[in-house]
């Protein structure tokens, strides 16, 4: 709705001096402009941004405050929970999501604002006034008003969009946390694998040396020595590759947190979250399904998007009703007071906003379809993750049985060696089989932990309730 004050002409006697009235409009404008927000430049420098990235540290005071505000304990060791909080503080994905929340909040404020009135002031000077004042002061005023509750409906759209942005922040937070956990698992696996490979390489080298001595003594032929030599060389290459994999895992881990590998070096890391065996049984399938299909942040964001589409449709329907143009006016004309009131409105003749309404209806249908598609995909992800986890547990049990059997055989070989019933060659062979079984058990355990992570990703929440779920909107 628009209120418009018609232009009026105020004529003064020749002897009057209308300087005060001439400057009322500009003076009011100056007063209004004094309350405006000033622009503050924030130049973006690639060089400065790179320096800031390199300067990030786990000892940063701001990070320590953020950890404390979100229920974490400051100081070493660095657990999965605290490293997740560090990633929420530093990672660029979180900065983008927080910026989107801030933009959505500003959108709510914008949607709730009333249209500003527009005032016009036009002084005129007449050279031949015929004995009257040569000055004529003309004013126009436009007071926009809206019908059918359009402002409230516009605010409802913006509020739903803000809710969606906040849930998207939680989605981004979960993805960051998931990457931190998976990269922590890979780093732990790389370090443990390097230890096992080092032990296997030492045992293989000892066996190769022993066979070499027997060959030089003429006890065995060259054909019995060559496989051991090749295996020892292969172990040295594997150990070097394991060191390379560890360095890559460290870099990936630091990147998942949002810091440099140098900032993570020599920090005491507690790998208990990925090194300890998970619970024998998952939570109830019904509970997991409820979390996945009803409480995931992206599900809630999709519901907020649907609410926004619904509110947009209501807004477009309300826009069918025209806004009024009311023109109250006053004119002082040579001693006569003249009052007027004009009413104008847009005639809904040609389209009645039908195109915008159709587009809003299509948007609502699209939002509903996206929600159904999201739920369907989530259900498939949950079932696949759950099946993968259960299968990995079976493989782990098999690996544990093989490891236990090899451990028993190694102990038996050690006892026979001490009793003089067999030689060192047989004992080293048992050691190598034991080392290989330990590596197989480690690989199976990592698969279990990866399967647990997949289940957590399917419900987008940690199954350990001590871990945080959602971050603070502001760092």
- The enclosing domain of 391 has a CATH number of 1.20.1600.10
Domain count, the chain: 1
pLDDT at 88 (0 to 100)? 93
Q: What confidence score (pLDDT) does residue 332 get? A: 54
CB 378 within 8 A of CB 338: no
Q: 416-434 burial by CB neighbour count: b if 16+ within 10 A, else e?
A: ebeeeeeeebebbbbbbbb
379 neighbors 285 (Cβ within 8 angstroms): no
d(CA 349, CA 27): 43
Q: Specify the 3-state DSSP secondary structure of 293.
A: helix
* pLDDT tens by residue, 404-459: 999 999 998 888 888 776 778 888 888 999 999 999 999 999 999 999 999 999 99
What is the per-residue pLDDT for 212? 82
Q: Which residue has the higher pLDDT, 353 or 190?
A: 190
Tell me: pLDDT of 333 over 80. no
Alpha carbons 144 and 129: distance in angstroms, whole number: 36
pLDDT computed for residue 164 by the predictor: 95
Give residue 8's pLDDT: 40
Pair type for strands 132-144 and 10-13:
antiparallel
**pTM surpassing 0.85?**
no
Which domain, by its residues, includes 303?
A: 2-29+48-459
Structural domain contains residue 380: yes
CB 180 within 8 A of CB 257: yes
Q: 342 in helix, strand or coil?
A: strand
- Averaged over 207-227, what is the pLDDT? 83
Is residue 284, in this structure, part of any structural domain at all?
yes
Please report whether residue 42 resides in a domain: no
Any domain includes 470: no
pLDDT in tens, 268-323: 999 999 998 887 777 788 889 999 999 899 999 999 999 999 999 999 999 888 88
Residue 130 CA to residue 126 CA, distance in Å, equals: 9
Instruction: Give the three-state DSSP class for 236.
Output: helix
Residue 243 has pLDDT above 50, yes or no: yes
Average pLDDT over residues 187-207: 92
- Measure the CA–CA gap between 455 and 460, rounded to whole angstroms: 8
* Predicted pLDDT of residue 40: 82
In a domain, residue 148? The reply is yes
Note whether residue 91 is domain-resident. yes
């Amino acid at each position: 709705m628009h209120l418009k004050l018609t232009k009026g002409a105020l004529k003064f006697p020749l002897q009057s001096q209308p300087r005060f009235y001439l400057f009322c409009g500009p003076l009011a404008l100056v007063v209004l402009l004094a309350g405006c927000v000033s622009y503050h430049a924030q130049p973006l420098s690639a060089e400065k941004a790179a320096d800031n990235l390199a300067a990030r540290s786990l000892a940063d005071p701001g990070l320590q405050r953020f950890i404390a505000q979100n229920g974490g304990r400051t100081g070493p060791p660095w657990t999965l929970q605290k490293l997740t909080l560090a990633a929420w503080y530093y990672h660029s994905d979180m900065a983008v999501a927080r910026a989107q929340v801030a933009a959505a909040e500003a959108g709510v404020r914008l949607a709730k604002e009333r249209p500003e009135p527009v005032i016009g002031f036009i002084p005129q000077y007449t050279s031949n006034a015929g004995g009257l004042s040569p000055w004529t002061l003309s004013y126009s005023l436009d007071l926009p008003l809206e019908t059918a509750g359009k402002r409230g409906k516009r605010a409802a759209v913006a509020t739903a969009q803000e809710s969606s942005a906040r849930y998207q922040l939680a989605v981004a937070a979960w993805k960051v946390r998931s990457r931190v956990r998976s990269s922590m698992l890979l780093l732990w696996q790389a370090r443990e694998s390097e230890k096992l490979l080092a032990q296997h390489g030492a045992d293989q080298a000892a066996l190769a040396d022993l066979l070499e001595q027997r060959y030089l003594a003429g006890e065995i032929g060259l054909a019995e020595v060559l496989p051991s030599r090749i295996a020892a060389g292969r172990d040295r290459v594997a150990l070097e590759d394991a060191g390379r994999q560890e360095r890559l895992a460290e870099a990936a881990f630091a990147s998942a947190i949002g810091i440099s590998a140098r900032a993570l070096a020599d920090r005491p890391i507690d790998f208990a979250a990925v090194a300890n065996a998970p619970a024998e049984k998952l939570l109830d399938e019904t509970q997991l399904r409820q979390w996945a299909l009803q409480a995931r942040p992206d599900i809630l964001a999709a519901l907020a998007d649907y609410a926004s589409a619904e509110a947009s449709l209501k807004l477009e329907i309300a826009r069918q009703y025209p806004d009024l143009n009311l023109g109250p006016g006053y004119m002082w004309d040579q001693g006569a007071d003249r009052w007027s009131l004009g009413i104008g409105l847009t005639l809904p003749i040609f389209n009645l906003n039908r195109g915008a309404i159709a587009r809003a209806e299509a948007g609502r249908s699209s939002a509903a379809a996206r929600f159904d598609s999201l739920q369907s995909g989530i259900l498939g992800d949950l079932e696949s993750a759950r099946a993968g986890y259960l299968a990995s547990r079976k493989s782990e049990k098999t690996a544990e049985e093989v490891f236990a059997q090899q451990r028993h055989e190694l102990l038996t070989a050690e006892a026979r060696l001490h009793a003089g019933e067999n030689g060192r060659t047989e004992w080293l062979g048992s050691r190598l089989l034991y080392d290989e079984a330990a590596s197989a058990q480690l690989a199976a355990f990592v698969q279990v932990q990866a399967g647990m992570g997949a289940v957590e990703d399917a419900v987008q929440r940690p199954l350990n309730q001590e871990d945080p779920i959602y971050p603070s909107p502001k760092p």
